[in-house]
Amino acid sequence: MAIPQSFIQDLLARADVVEIVGRFVQLKKTGANFSGLCPFHAEKSPSFTVSPSKQFYHCFGCGKSGNAIGFLMEHAGMGFVEAVGDLAGQYGMEVPQDDTTPEQRERAAQQRQKQATLGDVLEKAGQAYRKHLRQSPRAIEYFKGRGVSGEIAKAFGLGYAPEGWRALASVFPDYSDPMLVECGLVIEGEEDKRYDRFRDRVMFPIRNVKGECIGFGGRVLGDEKPKYLNSPETPVFSKGRELYGLYEARNHLREFGYVLVTEGYMDVVALAQLGFPNAVATLGTACTPEHVHKLFRFTESVVFSFDGDAAGRRAARKALEGALPYATDVRSVKFLFLPAEHDPDSFIREHGREEFERYVRQAVPLSVFLVEAASADCDLATAEGRSRMLAAAHPLWTLLPDGALKRQLFAEIAERSQVGSHELADLWRVPRAGGGGGGRSRQRPEQRAYGTGVRQAVKPKAINYAEHIARLVLRHSSAWELLSHADHEVLCGLQPPLGDLFSWLDASSHEHGGQPWAALQAGLAGQPFEALAQRLMDYDASQPLSGVVEDVDTAERDLRLSMVEIHLDLLATAIEETGKMPQSDPSRHDRLLDLSRRQQRLLRDRQQLRS
């Protein structure tokens, strides 16, 4: 959904970043600003500052910074549209939806109201389950037997669904309310007979990243089947998108540097008890790309933990397929396989925390596991086995985003298969000149990821100027229109990832116009040049608050001066190459004269801009 820029500006003008941040961070007035402990990294003395005059937050410790929308995206892991909608709702504003009909808008409003109501019903049930836990010695003894403290039980909101078919009737006087069925708490059987879905089970509330209860998981106290029971799919709960424990773990992920993905509720709770509060679990389903995408909003490193048996390997293969589309060069994905007789809880209790940490450090990298998975049951000593490995590896390798990792894996797969890189590129129909990882052709120029054009190599000094332009455009995307078409062509034609970033900014400018960094950041998610853009903005944010938000007009001179320097660099290269042409070539003199005149004009422009 395209949200008008004017609405974003109105929303940020009305929203108070101090109020928004203050709901999650204890802030103290310090002069003109407010300060507190940074919610994005562990610290003992405040380095996190919120400026009411600039409506901007900044941490001088970790470098995180942004506006109210950016804070919701960063802290709660929301997407841009979701964060705008959430913030607009807090201030009674309705997000414009110009591309929808009045009927569609009405249905969307009804859906949001229904979700809010279902959330209230689920929260009320969770409160009842927590009360029942305090009154059930048997359920308390179960948790104590698993080593769960009262503090951890409170942090995760653990509860107990008592025996009996209609225990919730004492919580909801109108037991016939359709909402109870719709949110998965009650099952409606034959002849409209109703009964509680969860009975005589310890209860694990499932929360979204905002802390709202969206469903439950229940575990039997004995050996009955099924051992675990989850809420069904509802308008507020989708097990293919949600992760148990992410709300509780989100603030610990930056401290530990990675998220540990496990297979069950008790794994998450037990790991938090044993000193690993950075664990989450899938909800009775295989890990999906949506799960991985959500995790990479909070950390750049994911470690999947599985049993070492055949079932664990199959689950790991599913997780691999879900992770591959997001495995960029700056992200880490690993696979941890514990001995078959252990889960994380039992392993730590038997072998200790340090041994478990060693297992995490030695977890199998994605690149290694991809080749292992493709080679499974393949006899690489035979041509048939190697061909079978190539057939299994191709769809996995294709899922990877372009980058150094993909290219290195291409070379490794080609070596293992004993098929040369050029032959494998032909077999897999990988363009030799593109970013596919195959061999490179000197006859054909490399094409950009967006648009067309030849890659241009420039000197490191010119790269610095180009990065400065990228930083200015990311900060003020409308600044892109201050440059000429020729400037755009040069910038989009630079070597990757910088040229690809400019090409994406060019496409974004044509499609959406000027956008704030929060909006651009949302669109950059998963792009191969996302890390470059974030690095440029992190540098920007490390400067004092007064220098972070400057007017576009004040940036125009820097923009043009940097562009002149890049053009001069390219001209110098062109003059050098033309000078190597044979003296007998009739075009050599005219070309050198033309290049020299253009160089002189640029030097005059530079002098004027500097003065």
Residue type, 198: F
Examine the pLDDT at 145 and tell me if it is beyond 60.
yes
- Residue 97 belongs to a domain: no
- Of the residues 354, 372, 390, which one is the last residue of a structural domain? 372
Pairing between β-strand 301-307 and β-strand 213-220 as defined by DSSP bridges:
unpaired
- Of the residues 90, 124, 149, which one is the last residue of a structural domain? 90
Q: Tell me the average pLDDT across 87-105.
A: 73
The answer on 131 and 201 residing in a single domain is yes
Query: What is the extent of the structural domain holding 278?
Result: 246-372
Helix (H) or strand (E) segment spanning residue 545: helix 545-548
- Residue 445 belongs to a domain: no
Collapsing DSSP states into helix, strand and coil, what is residue 571? helix
| Distance of alpha carbon 597 from alpha carbon 600, whole angstroms | 5
Q: For residues 366 and 336, is the Cβ–Cβ distance under 8 A?
A: no
Q: For residues 259 and 249, is the Cβ–Cβ distance under 8 A?
A: yes
Q: pLDDT grade, residue 386 (50/70/90)? A: very high
**What pLDDT is recorded for position 469?**
92
pLDDT tens digits, 2-60: 677 667 867 877 788 888 898 888 899 888 889 999 888 777 888 899 988 777 888 88
Q: pLDDT grade, residue 485 (50/70/90)? A: confident
- The domain that holds 137 is classified in CATH as 3.90.980.10
Cis peptide before 365 (omega within 30 of 0): no
Question: What's the angle, vertex CA 286, arms to CA 127 and CA 279, rounded to 5?
Answer: 55
The answer on 385 and 286 residing in a single domain is no
Helix (H) or strand (E) segment spanning residue 419: none
Residue 336, both tokens = 């941890």
- Of the residues 74, 90, 106, which one is the last residue of a structural domain? 90
**What pLDDT is recorded for position 35?**
92
Q: What is the reported pTM? A: 0.63
Examine the pLDDT at 112 and tell me if it is beyond 80.
no
The answer on 55 and 126 residing in a single domain is no
Q: Tell me the average pLDDT across 292-300.
A: 84
**What pLDDT is recorded for position 470?**
92
Q: Tell me the average pLDDT across 350-358.
A: 92
Examine the pLDDT at 417 and tell me if it is beyond 60.
yes
Write down the mean pLDDT value for the chain.
84
- Residue 329 belongs to a domain: yes
| Distance of alpha carbon 220 from alpha carbon 199, whole angstroms | 9
- Residue 554 belongs to a domain: yes
The answer on 594 and 486 residing in a single domain is yes
- Residue 61 belongs to a domain: yes
Examine the pLDDT at 540 and tell me if it is beyond 70.
no
The answer on 398 and 365 residing in a single domain is no
- Residues 506, 512, 513, 519: what is their CA dihedral angle, to the nearest 10 degrees? -90
